[in-house]
Amino acid sequence: MDSELQIALIGAGLAAVVLIVGYNKWQERKHRRQAERAFRSEHRDVLLEPRTDGEPAAERREPGIARSEPRPFSEAPVKRSAPEVPNFLDERADCVIRLEAIEPLDVHQIWAAQNEQLAGLSKPVRWFGFNDSQNLWQPLGPHSAGACHWFCAALQLVDRQGSIGEADFMRFTGGVQRVADAVMALPPGLPLRAETLRNATELDRFCADVDVQIGVNVVARDGQFDGRVIQQLAERQGLKLGSDGSFHAVDDQGASLFTLSNLEPGLFAPEGMKQLVTQGLTLVIDVPRVANGSVVFDRLMRVAGALAEQLGGDVVDDNRAPFGTEAATIIRSQIEQFQARMAEHGIPAGGPLAQRLFAV
């Protein structure tokens, strides 16, 4: 009886343990399914799913990085680079300021604005507009037409009257700034005042050192020279009477090489040559303004000799001393030295820059 009771109690205990373990397993599965439903994604896990033949591999996506389709965008406008300074200019001899406009500006508008703002300067000012289609600078004037993005203003620093001063610099830079404001151009980059004035002073000093004009005279031995004969002989030597009252020997491009003028007060004029009489003539070579100065000087001396012979005169210097072969040799050597200095300084005699710096 006791043994049966013990067996029954043991069986009941085992059943209870089985029930408890089973209940726990059921609860565990129940909670797992709830968790799976809560975190289940409707998207396939393409990394775990097998790929069938011909199906492209899915793109790998890094955790935590969201990717989206590229969106169209517009590029910023390309900034135009400033064109080089016009070939006609030289930054050693010109104060250069460039203006840029977002939209093309009519050149008439620029010309009118600068004409108002830059009046009264003691040195020449030149304006240029950049032709985008031809990719070159074009000089501007009152009759220029078209529109440009880029403009260039240049104040010449030096001429035969000297260099610019602070007043000219301030008037020029301030005037260009006002032109930019008036036409709604971008603010220009202005040159440095002290550096510009220093360069102008140094260039003027050099120009003064080589600014030489050499003259010889043909004077009458007895009496006077007749104007009609002077004109005939001058034209026979290839000289042309200019509007300045002097005869000019010119090169193939029409540039003056040397002049023949009246030694006495008074100018030569076509309508007055018949009545003119004079005691002498002066031939002058402007050394910085002619190339191959020694060659030009030799031609001048030949013309002087021919005039003296045919008019009955003598070739003399300013002191009325005879101007012979020895004096001519010395002068020729000096001309070569002056022009060599100019070439070393990058301003060749007779070149475009020299023509501007030594303008008459």
CATH code at position 177 = 3.30.1400.10
Residue 28: the pLDDT is: 55
Q: Is 71 a residue whose pLDDT tops 50? A: no
Lowest-pLDDT range of 36-45, 98-107, 192-201: 36-45
278 SS3 class:
strand
Mean pLDDT calculated for residue range 72-95: 73
Kindly indicate the confidence band of residue 360, based on its pLDDT and cuts at 50, 70 and 90: confident
Please tell me whether residues 324 and 290 are part of one structural domain. Answer: yes
Question: Are 121 and 248 members of one domain?
Answer: no
Structure tokens at 114: 């600068």
pLDDT of residue 81: 73
The two structure tokens encoding residue 260: 């023949």
SS3 300: helix
pLDDT band at 24 (very low <50, low <70, confident <90, very high): low
Name the domain boundary from 207, 229, 257. Answer: 207
Last residue of a domain, one of 207, 240, 271: 207
Which domain-ending residue is among 147, 180, 207?
207
Q: What is the token pair recorded at 104?
A: 């093309």
Residue 40 lies in a domain: no
DSSP three-state, residue 288: helix
Per-residue pLDDT at 122 exceeds 70: yes
Does residue 316 share a domain with residue 247? yes
Any residues with CB less than 8 A from the CB of 351 and at least 6 apart, and which?
A: 291
So what's the pLDDT on residue 40? 45
- Determine the pLDDT at residue 245: 97
The residue among 106, 97, 103 whose CA lies nearest residue 80 is: 103
pLDDT grade, residue 80 (50/70/90)?
low
**Helix ranges restricted to H, 185-324:** 193-210, 227-236, 293-311
Whether the pLDDT of residue 44 is over 80: the answer is: no
The verdict on residue 276 lying in a domain is yes
Write the CA distances from 347 to 13, 123, 204, 208, 338, integer angstroms. 123, 19, 13, 13, 11
Pair (168, 221) in one structural domain: no
Claim to verify: residue 215 and residue 174 sit in the same structural domain: no
Spatial distance between the Cα atoms of 225 and 313, rounded to a whole number of angstroms: 9
Q: What is the pLDDT of residue 82?
A: 77
What letter would DSSP give residue 272? G
Q: Is residue 149 part of a domain?
A: yes
Let me know if residue 37 belongs to a domain. no
Q: Confidence class of residue 270 from pLDDT cuts 50, 70 and 90?
A: very high
Asked if residue 352 belongs to a domain, the reply is yes
The reply to whether 267 falls in a domain is: yes
Q: How many domains does the chain have?
A: 2
Comparing 145 with 81, which gets the higher pLDDT?
145
Could you give the 3-state DSSP secondary structure of residue 248? Answer: strand
Tell me whether residue 17 is in a domain.
no
Q: Are residues 113 and 140 in the same domain?
A: yes
Q: Both 272 and 331 in a single domain? A: yes
Report CA 53 to chain centroid distance, whole Å: 68
Indicate if 336 and 229 belong to the same structural domain: yes
Tell me the pTM: 0.73
334-337 contacts at long range (C-beta below 8 A, 24 or more positions apart): 334/212, 334/214, 335/212, 335/214, 335/285, 335/287, 335/293, 335/294, 335/297, 336/293, 336/294
Place of tokens 């070569």: 336
Q: Average the pLDDT over 179-203 and give the result.
A: 95
Same domain assignment for residues 153 and 215:
no
* Structural domain for 290, as ranges: 211-357
Q: Does residue 327 share a domain with residue 276?
A: yes
Higher pLDDT, 310 or 41: 310
Residue 165: inside a domain: yes
Question: How long a stretch of residues is the chain?
Answer: 360
Does 166 share its domain with 249?
A: no
| CA 335/CA 300 separation, integer angstroms | 13
CB 262 within 8 A of CB 273: no
Whether residues 215 and 353 share a domain: the answer is yes
